[in-house]
Amino acid sequence: MVESLVMPEDLSFSDADRSAVYRAIALRRDVRRGFLNDPLPEKLLDRLLAAAHHAPSVGFMQPSRFIVIRNRAIRQTVYDIFKDANAEARERYDGDRKKQYDSLKLEGILEAPLNICIVCDTQSQRGHGLGRLSMPETAAYSTVCAVQNLWLAARAEGVGVGWVSILDPVRLRAVLRIPDHILPVAYLCIGYVDEFGSQPELQLSGWEKRVPMETTVFYDAYDAGAQP
């Protein structure tokens, strides 16, 4: 497995490099459908995991761990957990919103060739506690950065990623044998896809739209009166 990314001699970014970074950000999608049966080459998977492993972390604690799941029976069990959680989640909606919820594709657990559960060792002593005394939750935030790194690298590689959050964490822990001090952060469905959407799927479906950026940026203090 690749343990580190290749470090180029030139530490500057060309115009093309900068454009590629912003392009990957703009074109990243949460993919839930259209996964192909083609397996990911091991070297490609290694690159994605290396990208995640190189994410920033508070105190350089590097708390993220990666459970790669190919086993069909395990994924079927996780899918069953999703179905139960999804049935409960839909009950919070009424009328047309419930019908719209039922039409959404919210996972690709069995369709994707592999799943990755990214977890956080919140009690890791690496980094000697630097930056976590007043904000211990930054350990989990560090793992979220790892998720984003993997997601952007995957998009650049033409690989789809879908984050499944509709899962009972207690049952997920049992299936994946995750210890109590290890925090499940993200369950991802990963694989080549037939296409990437021109816009986020939830925007295309009319579930929600992106708020204008000017309604989210404040200067010197939070504006409690702002309404995105």
Model pLDDT for residues 10-27, shown as the tens digit of each residue: 889 999 999 999 999 999
Phi, psi of 51 (to 5 degrees): -60, -45
Over range 126-131, report the average pLDDT. Answer: 89
Beta bridge partners of 182: 121
Residue 4 has a pLDDT of: 65
Taking the C-alpha atoms of residue 203 and residue 7, their distance in angstroms, rounded to an integer, is 37
Is the pTM of the predicted complex or chain greater than 0.85? yes
Residue 93 has a pLDDT of: 97
Over range 134-155, report the average pLDDT. Answer: 96
Hey, what CATH topology would domain 29-194 get?
NADH Oxidase (3.40.109)
Tokens of 30: 């949460």
* % pLDDT > 90, the chain: 90
Residue 3 has a pLDDT of: 53
103 closest CA partner among 86, 118, 88, 120: 86
Residue 72 CB contacts under 8 Å (≥ 6 apart), including other chains: 110
Per DSSP, the residues of 16-45 read HHHHHHHHHHHH--B--S-B-SPPPPHHHH
Residue 7 has a pLDDT of: 79
Residue 171 has a pLDDT of: 98
Alpha helix locations (H) across the chain?
Answer: 15-27, 42-53, 72-90, 95-103, 138-156, 169-176, 201-204
Taking the C-alpha atoms of residue 61 and residue 139, their distance in angstroms, rounded to an integer, is 8
Above 90 in pLDDT, residue 83?
A: yes
Over range 157-186, report the average pLDDT. Answer: 97
Predicted confidence (pLDDT) per residue in 23-53, tens digit: 999 999 999 999 999 999 999 999 999 999 9
Over range 186-212, report the average pLDDT. Answer: 95
Above 80 in pLDDT, residue 121?
A: yes
Residue 1 has a pLDDT of: 52
Residue 8 has a pLDDT of: 83
Highest-scoring range by mean pLDDT, 117-131, 182-196, 209-223? 182-196
- Taken in order 26, 31, 37, 40, the sign of the CA dihedral is positive
Mean pLDDT in the chain? 94
Above 90 in pLDDT, residue 133?
A: no
Q: Edge-to-edge, what's the strand order for the sheet holding 159-164?
A: 64-69, 114-121, 182-192, 159-164
- Tokens 């392009």: give the residue: 23
